[in-house]
């Protein structure tokens, strides 16, 4: 039986995400109110850059609960040049973002343009400075296991803090096979790189299974510094379960 402690700990690993194109300021404020009223402390809130200023009014709550402000760049298609993406990163920094979730130019990877991918990753790492950088490899769009592994290796090699599976904007999100490949690469890396599971993770059971998979493959305890789950529906399921 799942305990209250397990549920609370799972909530602390979440990047609670709202990336809905139709949102306006009022809707985002209402959503932020609803998250704050739960009394839970996720690892981060991940929202579109335009909404980052809304978090300034909640600075004390975020600071007290140690909730990071995360946003997305090169999102969702991964098709912008590094100059444009670096401009997006700088704009997010100016809006007090703590963490950047950046989409890998995965089409270039699939086309064998490895040098271009490496150059992009080096540029965005430099642009982020001290901000936490998570690279989204869009594993559901990659055709082979080798491509998933190669994408993960490039993220490790180029200095990112996390490798993330999916934008949640494509038909195939995170699969068990992709998670296992990514975690196996991370377990063998020569430095500690975090794993962010995202893309269709909606149930408590799935979330706990991913925690177990992470700990089993890497041999590390899951904590928000090195393991995250990007989700919105899962957070609501945890709220219900803890009510």
What is the reported pLDDT for 2? 84
CA 240 to chain centre: 23
The CATH number of the domain holding residue 166 is: 3.20.20.70
| Span 60-72, average pLDDT | 98
The pLDDT, as a whole number, for residue 116 is 98
Instruction: Give dist(CA 48, CA 19) in Å, integer.
Output: 6
DSSP annotation string for 49-86: GGGGGGGGGGHHHHHHHT-EEEEEESTTT--S-HHHHH
Report the domain count for the chain. Answer: 1
Distance from C-alpha of 67 to C-alpha of 87, rounded to nearest angstrom: 25
Query: 139-151: b or e for each residue (b if 16 or more CB lie within 10 Å)?
Result: bbbbeeeebbbbb
Q: Say if pTM beats, i.e. exceeds, 0.75.
A: yes
What is the share, in percent, of the chain residues with pLDDT greater than 90? 98
Note the pLDDT tens digit of each residue in 96-142: 999 999 999 999 999 999 999 999 999 999 999 999 999 999 999 99
Average pLDDT (183-207) is 98
Q: In the prediction, which pLDDT does 131 show? A: 98
pLDDT band at 198 (very low <50, low <70, confident <90, very high): very high
| CB within 8 Å of 237: residues ≥ 6 apart | 202, 203, 204
Is the predicted pLDDT of residue 157 greater than 90, yes or no?
A: yes
| Catalytic positions | 101, 164, 196
In this predicted structure, the answer to whether residue 1 has a pLDDT above a threshold of 80 is: no
Residue with tokens 């809006």: 95
Q: Does 218 have pLDDT greater than 80? A: yes
Q: Token pair of 17, please?
A: 């995400």
Tell me the CA distances in angstroms from 140 to 100, 171, 179, 182, 185, one per residue in order. 21, 8, 11, 12, 17
Residues 6+ away with beta carbon under 8 Å from 24: none
When the pLDDT of each residue in the chain is averaged and rounded to a whole number, the result is 97
- Give the model's confidence band at 95: pLDDT under 50 very low, under 70 low, under 90 confident, else very high: very high
- Structure confidence at residue 50 (pLDDT): 97
By the 10 Å C-beta count (0-12 exposed, 13-18 middle, 19+ buried), 60 is classed as exposed
State which residues form the domain around 176. 4-242
pLDDT tens profile 7-62 = 999 999 999 999 999 999 999 999 999 999 999 999 999 999 999 999 989 999 99
Among 112, 114, 189, 102, CA closest to 138: 102
């Amino acid at each position: 039986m799942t305990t209250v402690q397990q549920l609370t700990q799972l909530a602390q690993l979440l990047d609670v995400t709202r990336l809905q194109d139709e949102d306006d300021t009022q809707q985002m404020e209402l959503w932020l109110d609803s998250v704050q009223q739960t009394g839970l402390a996720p690892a981060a809130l991940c929202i579109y850059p335009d909404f980052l200023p809304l978090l300034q009014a909640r600075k004390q709550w975020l600071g007290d609960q140690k909730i990071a402000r995360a946003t997305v760049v090169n999102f969702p298609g991964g098709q912008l040049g590094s100059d444009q993406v670096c401009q997006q990163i700088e704009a997010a920094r100016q809006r007090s973002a703590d963490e950047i979730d950046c989409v890998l130019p995965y089409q270039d990877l699939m086309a064998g343009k490895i040098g271009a991918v490496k150059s992009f990753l080096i540029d965005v790492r430099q642009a982020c400075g001290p901000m936490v950088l998570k690279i989204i490899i869009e594993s559901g769009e990659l055709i082979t296991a080798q491509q998933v592994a190669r994408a993960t290796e490039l993220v490790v090699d180029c200095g990112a803090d996390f490798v993330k599976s999916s934008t949640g904007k494509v038909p195939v999100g995170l699969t068990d096979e992709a998670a296992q490949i990514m975690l196996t690469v991370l377990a063998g890396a020569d430095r500690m790189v975090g794993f962010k599971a995202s893309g269709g993770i909606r149930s408590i059971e799935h979330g706990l299974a991913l925690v177990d998979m992470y700990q089993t493959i890497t041999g590390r305890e899951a904590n928000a510094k090195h393991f995250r789950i990007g989700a919105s529906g899962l957070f609501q399921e945890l709220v219900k379960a803890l009510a």
